[in-house]
Structures are given as structure tokens and as C-alpha cells.
Amino acid sequence: MTTHSRYLLGMLVFCMSLMLISGTVIAEEGQGQQKPDMDEYYRELETFADAISLIKDSYVEPVSPKELIKGAMGGMLMSLDDYSQYLEPGDYKEVKEDIKGKFGGIGIQVGMRDGMLTIISPLDGTPASRAGLLPNDIIVKIDGELTKDLDTHGAVKKMRGDPGSKITVTIWREKEQKFFDLTMEREIVNVKSVKKSYIVYDNIGYIKLVEFQETSAKEIEDMLKELVGKNINGIILDLRNNAGGLLNSAIDVAEIFLKKGMAIVSIKGRIEVQNKEYKSARDTSYQDITLVVLVNEGSASASEIVSGAVKDNGRGLLVGKKTFGKGSVQTVVPLKDGSAMRLTTAQYFTPSGVCIHKKGIEPDINVDLIAENKDEKATKSDNVFGKLEPEKEKEEVVDSQLKAAIDVVKTINLTKAKKI
């Protein structure tokens, strides 16, 4: 080993030792994990130091130590799972600014699934939803460039841009076994929490929640108060294509419908102080009203927390399709140079102890969303090229899932009436 390599190894071992010592203290205060095998880390770090030395001396072009370490950190975090990632200072700043909820884009929420950039849900009323993008569509190219080596944050940066500018994405749709291109014009995307509420049928209320934000629970309670004033006898909470949001918001929304003391969700990881079980802490006026929750493949994260709590507590029924399965918890840890690590540190579990991640939640009543063409039955050619012709008349969607939810509410209310 060269002198330079030994120097690098010494520095790396010193840094790693500090990390391991800190990690051991946390573990001992938490779950009492065994001390890591330091010899194993030393052996692996020696190989790493040799690789850095070889790159420094022999790579065709000079590479700065900062770029090498940055690349190593990025690769290390990407190798852990689909959600852990390294954030450069500028990227970290953007992540903090994202809470403003207003940006130029096409209106989709994305995540990584099996190493592929996957659409969790298109946001209603955005270019993505108007173009016909669907949950579980895989984005294989952005403006002609493959997404294979992109993480979620890098993909989001590429898809955002000035309002009025155009973007072309290449999509792989697994169910139809086909690739197709879509060109869209970016718009200012204002992410609203609650989209609408109204009487959907006779005395049945309907509330569409788009994203879990700080004000979501208050908005829903305000709408419920208004709907109850119109003598409703049931509520349909629509969480379809709701990709999530704030954990605290999900807990607050669940509390509206769950009686005090009922379990909502638990978080479990290796750090004891992070492990926690959340229960409903209050009673409201809406905890006995008939409840049906609409879900689909685009319902993820916070939506799955609420859905799981409703289902496991027997508080209501889920109607629609199996949810996305995003049940991991990421912690953003700032680093000294202004960069940060987004690290998966725990997972969500429903009240019955089921891990949501990569599994999703099965609805009580499985219903497909039926789409019927106004004209004659579409040919295979129509289905393929129709996506590339926005001027062509689109399919008229018959909301069979909502109709099924209405029937479920009516049936439950009839059962209640018979018991009385």
C-alpha cells in the first residue's frame, strides 16, 4: 500500500470510527445492539482507500477528492433502498423549499420501485392527469435521456421547469406491455389539500383529499360540519391518487373518524427513540357516521396510514384497488458542508401489525375503475397512438368505484336501520 493510500485509509478509519462509536451509543441507549465488528470495517475501508488511490494516480483526467467522496456517498446510499439518497447543498436547499407547494411542472408524484422511476399518482387537474398518466407507469426517459441512473430527486429536477416549457417523457405501461411518448407543457402546480366536498347521492357526503398537509384535518372537519348540517347519513372519503404528505396530518385526519384510544399507526426502526405508536387522542362528532374510504394504486404513504387505521379498527370499509405500498420513513440529516443524507430509518405498521411497505393494503371490496369509449370499441392502434394525439376525443370515465362506494354506504345504513 502506498503512503498516500495509508494516509487516506487512516483518515477514513478515523471518520468511520467516530460514526461507529456514535452509532453504538445510540444503539445501547435504544435496543442494545452489539458493537459492530471493527476489523471487518477496517478491511473494507482498506480496499476503498486503494481504489481512491488508484483513481487519483491513474484515471485519465484529474478528479478532486470532493467529487470522489461525493460520488461514493451517492452510490452507497442508492445501494441501500429506493428512497435513501445523497443531497448536494443545492438539492438540499430545494428540498427545504418544496414545502411551499408551488412550482412549474407536470403534476406527478414519483418514487423508485425495483430501481425504476415509477409514478405514484398524477395530481388532479394537472398536465399529467390530462395526458392520461396512471399510477405504476414507469418513466424510462425524460426528454430522450434514460432514467436508469437517476434517483427520485434528480428526476424531479429534470421534470420541473419554467411554466410554458415542454417536456417529453417515455412511459412503459406494464399492464398493456407497451412504450409510448407523451409531450406536455409545464404549468404552475398548486398543490391543494382538499379538492372538493358535496352531497354525492341523497344523504351521502363526499370529500376528495388530494394531499395530507398541515391544514387538511381542519379543512375536512369544516366540510363535515357543513355536510352534517345537510343531514347526511354517510361519508365517502376519497383517497385515490393521494400519494401522501405529512405524518402528523394523517394522524389528525384519522382521529376525526376513530374513537379516542384507537391505534392509528406505529413506527418501528433500529433507533429506539424513533419507535412510537400513535393512537387517537380525542373524540369528535363524526366517529359513528357510516364511513367508506376509496383507494387505488395511487394511494400511498399517509393515505395508507389512514386506510389501514380505518380497516384494522373496523371503523369503515375500503373500496377500490390495492394501494401503492410506500411505508418507509426517511429522515433528512444535514451534513457539515451544507449537503444532506435522506436515510430510510423506519417503517410504518398498521394497527394489526402489518407492514405497509412494498405490500400495500387490500380493499375490503375490490372494484376496477371502468372506462367506456363513447364511440365504437377502440382498436389496439387507437390505444397506442391515442396517447400521442391529445386533440383526439378521450374516453368517458364511468366512476364505477364511486358508485360501488355509494352502494356500500346505502347497504350499511340499511343494516343499521334493521338492527334498530
Q: Which residues are catalytic?
A: 301, 312, 326
Residues 255/284, Cβ–Cβ less than 8 Å: yes
Cell numbers found for residue 392: 383526439
Closest among 363, 374, 287, 289 to 320, alpha carbons compared? 363
Contacts of 369 (CB under 8 A, 6+ apart): 296, 320, 321, 397, 399, 400, 401
Closest among 220, 311, 304 to 262, alpha carbons compared? 311
CA triple 76-82-88, angle to 5 deg: 55
Cα–Cα dist 315/320, whole Å: 17
What letter would DSSP give residue 308?
Answer: H
Residues 147/117, Cβ–Cβ less than 8 Å: yes
> Looking at the DSSP assignment, which residues form a beta bridge with residue 343?
331
Contacts of 179 (CB under 8 A, 6+ apart): 140, 170, 171, 172
In angstroms, how far apart are the furthest CA atoms of the chain?
Answer: 86
Cell numbers found for residue 73: 456517498
Residues 349/355, Cβ–Cβ less than 8 Å: yes
Neighbours of 301 (CB within 10 A): 27
Residues 326/357, Cβ–Cβ less than 8 Å: yes
User: CB burial class (10 A; 0-12, 13-18, 19+) of residue 243?
Assistant: buried
Cα–Cα dist 417/420, whole Å: 5
